[in-house]
Structure 1
Amino acid sequence: MKELSPREAHAYLQTTPNALLIDVRSEIEHHFVGHPPAARHVPWNDGPEWAVNPDFVSDVEKLAGDRKRPLLLLCRSGNRSEMAAQALIAAGFSQVFNIVHGFEGDLDEHHHRNTLNGWRHDGLPWEQC
């Protein structure tokens, strides 16, 4: 699995038109916290049980159409997207990228996000539903 910073991921998406950006966060996070405009939402896990989505790989496969299509995965901090990326690689996807620091970034010393790194911290485009 390859890793990209949010800025590297944004640049890659600009230069690779067939790349697919997948937001693996919960539905609540995707809609209410915000997401990159081009992101497609396929949750890795979601409430109320927070179990891993048993259809994750097949849902991504439907969106991608080809296991060779570049896939960039984004979550809150890069942890869930890393697990989701590993599942896709195990399923035979060959170009999978994890976006480190995710959408909201790492926790700071006060346990707040969006202050150290991440998609929003880096000033990259995002929107709320």
Structure 2
Amino acid sequence: MKHLTPTESHAFLQAHPEALFVDVRMELEYLYVGHPPGIVHVAWYEYPEMQPDADRFVAQVKREAGGDLHRPLVLMCRSGTRTLPAGAALEAAGFDNLINVLHGFEGDADANFQRGRLNGWRHDGLPWEQM
């Protein structure tokens, strides 16, 4: 899996319109915190279980990718860490062109445990929308 900053990921997506952009956060995060326009939502895990179902996740991503294991997949979560096990599950299933968006949508927490102040998709001023 490659690791690109949000700005690099956005540039990659612009240059590769065939890429599938996948948000692996929970539905509440996707809807209420916000998300990039055009991103596909496939949760790695959901509340209240908070346990991934890798087979379900891989099957959903495979459907969204049209079964193409070579299609570029750009994965994003809150801070860039949930995408690591999600990406590993996809690689184990045969996907071979994965990109992790470093710092995710909200970015790393600062000294006051607040996100969005140091880095991340929103911090970098990239397009996003909110319900």
TM bin (shorter chain): over 0.9
The TM-score normalised by the length of structure 2 is 0.96
- Look up the equivalent residue of 2:60 and give its one-letter code: D
Matched position secondary structure for 1:78 = coil
What are the superposed Cα offsets for residues 83-110 of structure 1, whole Å, 9 maximum, x if unpaired? 1111101110010111110000000001
Please, what TM-score do these two structures have when normalized by structure 1? 0.98
In 1, Cα distance between the equivalents of 2:101 and 2:88? 13
Task: Write the deviation string for residues 16-74 of structure 1: whole angstroms up to 9, x where unpaired.
Answer: 01001000000000000000001100000111111103400000000001000000000
Residue identity in the other structure for 1:57? V
Q: Which residue of 2 aligns with 1:21?
A: 21
Letter in 2 for 1:32: Y
- For 1:34, the equivalent position in structure 2 comes to 34
**2:87 aligned partner, one-letter code:** A
Structure 2 gaps of 5+ residues are: none
In 1: Cα distance, 2:120 partner to 2:87 partner: 18
In structure 2, how many angstroms separate the alpha carbons of the residues matched to 1:128 and 1:3? 25
Q: 2:100 aligns with which of 94, 98, 101?
A: 98
Separation of aligned partners in 2, 1:83 and 1:117: 21
Identity percentage of aligned residues: 55
2:86 matched residue in structure 1: 84
Aligned to 2:46: 46
Q: Runs of 4 or more off by more than 6 Å in structure 1?
A: none
What amino acid sits opposite 2:56 in the alignment? Answer: D
Stretches of structure 1 lacking an aligned partner (at least 5 in a row)? none
| Structure 1 residue matching 2:25: 3-state secondary structure | coil
Question: How many equivalent residue pairs?
Answer: 129
Whole-angstrom distance in 2 between the partners of 1:36 and 1:82: 19
